[in-house]
Amino acid sequence: MLTPKAKRMSADAALLSAPVAAGAVFSSHLFGRASGESSAPESQPATFSNLKLHGVFAAIGSLPAFAILSVDGKPDQPVKGGMEIAPGVVLVAVYPDYVEVRRKGVVERLNLESRAAGSGGISKVEGFRLNVQSRSPGSYSFSRNELNQALQDPKQLMNLGEFVARPGGGGMLVAYAPRGSLAEKLGLQQNDVVVQLNNRPVASNQDIGRFYQQMQQSGQVRLNGVRGGKALTLTYSIQ
């Protein structure tokens, strides 16, 4: 059976902007399970050792799914589905803890590796590419088009920040919001708790994904949370 020729990822697209290892950023499999092709053949364990899976980012809405991969010990690189990772090796589908790749017509499964935070392979940090204006405390505005463009770039997706489920429920904890990340630009700080988005409860990374999706679609987004035991309200005007 003939298969379409895969797109090669440019060298520029291989550069990352995360300040920690991708495995740490995506350990919670941000945005939940990726959608894969149900008609894909059952995969078998990958047989090559030069390819390592260090992170996954599942698709939601218009946000693309991609994997963080290292080839031949080189620095991590983000790869979207359908792209060629190495000569003759194509990323087929992304799942919460593994990906499927196609080599010589055979679909193989590559499992997510555990990786300690702060390990090598990450390039110099760059801020998330979005100009955010703050006209008053807790009130922010920015361009929808600029956000949409940034969220389609794997390099930018590596610098969103990290959210984890709060122990015992009751919102999502901001576990990581480094300087220049999207979370930090949107007024969030490490250890903040996001409780509601537009009056809807937040309990999972799917809800955080909805947060970014609403910013792509809505003119106004309201975030309610907790900071240092006190109520936190942030509002966003998207133009």
What does the pLDDT look like over 141-165, one tens digit per residue? 999 899 888 877 777 877 888 888 8
| pLDDT tens readout for residues 11-23 | 223 222 232 323 3
Q: Indicate if the pLDDT at residue 235 is higher than 80.
A: yes
For 97-135, write each residue's pLDDT tens digit.
Answer: 788 999 888 999 998 875 444 344 444 446 899 999 998
Both tokens of 198, joined, read 């537009």
Residues paired with residue 238 on neighbouring β-strands, in sequence order: 142
CATH of the domain spanning 7-111, picked from 2.30.29.30, 3.40.50.1980, 2.30.30.830, 2.30.110.10:
2.30.30.830
Alpha helices in the chain (DSSP H): 22-25, 144-151, 154-157, 182-185, 205-217
Q: What is the structure's pLDDT at 15? A: 28
Mean per-residue pLDDT, 62-89: 81
Average pLDDT of every residue of the chain: 74
Q: Which CATH superfamily hosts domain 133-238?
A: PDZ domain (2.30.42.10)
**Residue extents of the structural domains in the chain:** 7-111, 133-238
Q: Is the pTM of this model over 0.75?
A: no
Contacts of 203 (CB under 8 A, 6+ apart): 165, 169, 171, 172
